Amino acid sequence: MNNSLSEAIEILKRMPEKGVEKALEKIREIQSEIDKEDRTKVPGCPHCGLENVIKNGRGHGKQAYICKSCGKSFVETTKTAMENSHSGEAVWKQVICDTINGVSIDRTAESLDLHHETVFNMRHKILFCLEQEEIANPTQLSGICEADETYILESYKGKKLPDGFWRKPRKHGAVAKNPGLSNEYICVCSGVERDGAAVAVAVNRGTAGKDDVNQVFGERVNSGTVILSDGAKAYGILNESGKCSVLNANNDEDSFFNINTVNNFHSVIKERNRAARGFATKYLNRYNILFSTAYRKTSAVVDAVYKKMTDMHNRYNTIAQTQSQNLLEI
């Protein structure tokens, strides 16, 4: 999806009053036609799963339904990640698109004429939904995969550091206190299929050990997978499982044995982190899942994310949950 909604809003802002009135009249006609098309569409009941459902008026601007089997009523967004939202499909898809493309929250808010906090909450509902999906159904890697680690400078963005904290506060985008790898850096273990899925998980401070590698890849690597790594000893634990083979890409002159793909993935993560002047570390894994979901994907990824958010499989979450559950604490 392109920035069609933002473009439409900008055009309306520049129109004279008569033009806006004509455009609004045309939009109402289109909306009426869409409503007629949707009259025959009735979803299954999100409470009991049966399809003995009839329409039951409208509530809060949304089509309401009632299930004749269980007697419970619901609207079209019940049990979805968009429950209680006042924004429609076009707005949500635009926020998803901007989130994937790294557009700042302020710019998205300005283009859609929304408040900064509203867009912030929408963005984190998107990230939380993707995180919950990854927890329930971890990404599976197979075939030939490349694995390596990258390091992201920690960030307490949005939080005031307490007195006596072990380091002084720094401005967004600043460098670490000490040169080289230190406990100010968060280790992100990544794996990328040569022609498919990607995964990235922040594991600890400093280098990754065997337990960290097993935490990331243990349940995600399918039998028969070939793992190409930089020769770090920690990846030996994957050989011990018997599920896959780990090869050292540095010990072979054949151009096939390289980890260029995962290094490119790391470049994407670091570039997005720089552009945002550092993601808050507590949200880092959510952004890692976002990057993994969107890596090398086409524009269809926006529709795929929106579909996840609108299915009625208990996707609902509150703003408080998005800001308190499954946060990264290392």
| Residues 290-319 pLDDT 10s | 999 999 887 789 999 999 999 888 888 899
Q: What's the sign of the alpha-carbon dihedral 82, 120, 271, 275? A: positive
Are 172 and 278 in contact, with CB atoms under 8 Å apart?
A: yes
Q: With 0-12 CB in 10 A as exposed, 13-18 as middle and 19+ as buried, what is 122? A: buried
pLDDT tens for residues 23-73?
Answer: 888 888 887 776 666 655 788 888 888 888 988 888 777 888 999 999 999
pLDDT tens for residues 68-88?
Answer: 999 999 988 899 999 889 888
Q: With 0-12 CB in 10 A as exposed, 13-18 as middle and 19+ as buried, what is 16? A: exposed
* The pLDDT value given to residue 254: 60
Q: List the structure tokens of 302.
A: 């926006």
Range 139-298: architecture per CATH: 2-Layer Sandwich (3.30)
Nearest to residue 156, comparing CAs of 181, 186, 127, 180?
186
* The pLDDT value given to residue 1: 45
DSSP summary character for residue 178: S
* The pLDDT value given to residue 39: 55
Are 247 and 163 in contact, with CB atoms under 8 Å apart?
A: no
Are 311 and 45 in contact, with CB atoms under 8 Å apart?
A: no
Domain residue ranges of the chain, discontinuous segments joined by +: 139-298
* The pLDDT value given to residue 2: 54
Q: Is the pLDDT of residue 166 over 90?
A: no
pLDDT tens for residues 169-211?
Answer: 888 777 887 788 888 899 999 999 988 899 999 999 988 899 9
pLDDT band of 225, cuts 50, 70, 90: very high
| Distance between CA atoms of residues 191 and 55, nearest Å | 47
pLDDT band of 252, cuts 50, 70, 90: low
Average pLDDT, the chain: 88
